[in-house]
Amino acid sequence: MSSAKVNLQSGIPDTIAVSAKLKDNYDAYYDGESSWRALGAIGKVKNIVDLCSAIPHGRILDIGSGEGALLQRLSEGDFGKELYSLEISQSAVTAILQRNISRVRECQLFDGYAIPYKSRQFDLAILSHVVEHIEYPRKLLYEAARVADYVFVEVPLEDTMMLKPDFVFDSVGHINFYSRKTIRRLVQTCDLRVLSQVVSNPSRAMYEYQFGRKGILKYVLKECLLRTAEPLACELFTYHCSLVCARASE
C-alpha cells in the first residue's frame, strides 16, 4: 500500500490511508506469538465479554488484530460464532493465520480506514488498543459503525499528569493520548451513543511479568486507588478505558 497523496494547498490527504511511516513501523512488527500480548489479551477479552455479552455478538470483526492473541482468546472462550480480522501489517496477518484459530473465518490486509465489508455485515466491531495508533480515528470509527451494529473501543488512558509536554515517536506507535472524557467525546462525535464505559487496571500477571515482585505492589496500589478514587487514579496512572457503543441515530 502506498502512502496518501497530499494536496499542497490545504495539506490534507487527497485519499485517506495509513502513512508510509506508520505502515513501515508495523509491517515487520509481529514475530509469532508473544507472552506479553497473551497476558494482555486476558484483561482485554474480559472487558469485551463484560460489556458485550448482553448485545448480539455472533459475528465479530476485530479491527487491528495484531498477532491474534485477542482472537485466540475469544475463540477459546466461545465468544462469537464467527470471527473476522483486519490488519495493516503483513507480519500480523501471517502470525494470525499461523495460529489456525478455529472460529476465524477470514483475516486480510486493508488500508487502515476503508473496511472492505458491506454495511451491517457484523453484530460487533472491536477496536481494542487501535484508536491511539491511527492518524484519522474518526474515519475508522465511522467505518466500524457502518459495518457493525455495535462498536467496542478500548484505549489506554495516557493523558495523565505524567504525560510529557512534547511528542516523540517510538516503535510502540501511540500518536493519540486519551483521558476518560476525550475518548468518550471522540466516539460521540462519530454518531455513536455510549451504552457503557468502564475503566480497568491491566491484570496482576502483566505487572508481575514486566516488573517482577515490584509489579505486584504496583498493581495493588493502582487497583486500590482506582476503586476508591477513580478520578485521582486516572490523573496519576495509566489505566484502560472500554466503551461499547451503538449508532446514535437509531
Report the CATH number that the domain containing residue 125 is assigned in CATH: 3.40.50.150
- Please state, rounded to an integer, the average pLDDT across all residues of the chain: 90
**pLDDT (average), residues 80-89:** 96
Is 60 exceeded by the pLDDT of residue 1?
no
Asked if the model's pLDDT at residue 170 lies above 90, the reply is: no
Q: Decide if pLDDT at 122 tops 80.
A: yes
Beta-sheet pairing, 148-156 with 192-200: unpaired
pLDDT at 12 over 80: no
Instruction: Please determine, for residue 26, whether its predicted confidence score (pLDDT) is greater than 80.
Output: no
Q: How confident is the model at residue 27 (pLDDT cuts 50, 70, 90)?
A: low
Q: Average pLDDT of 126-154?
A: 97
The confidence score (pLDDT) of residue 249 equals 78
Residue 14 lies in a domain: no
Residue 140 lies in a domain: yes
Q: Is residue 6 part of a domain?
A: no
Please give the residue range of the domain that contains residue 209: 20-247
- Is 57 within a domain? yes
Q: How many domains does the chain have?
A: 1
> What per-residue confidence (pLDDT) applies to 157?
98
Sheet containing 59-63: give its strands across: 104-109, 82-87, 59-63, 122-128, 148-156, 240-247, 192-200
- Predicted confidence band of residue 32 (pLDDT cuts 50, 70, 90): low
Note whether residue 33 is domain-resident: yes
Band (148; pLDDT cuts 50, 70, 90): very high
Residue 11 in domain? no
Q: Which residues pair with 214 in a beta bridge?
A: none
Q: Pick 134 or 9 by higher pLDDT.
A: 134
Residue 8, domain member (yes or no): no
Average pLDDT over residues 104-123: 96
pTM: 0.90
Query: For position 120, what pLDDT does the model report?
Result: 97
Instruction: Report yes or no on 3 lying in a domain.
Output: no
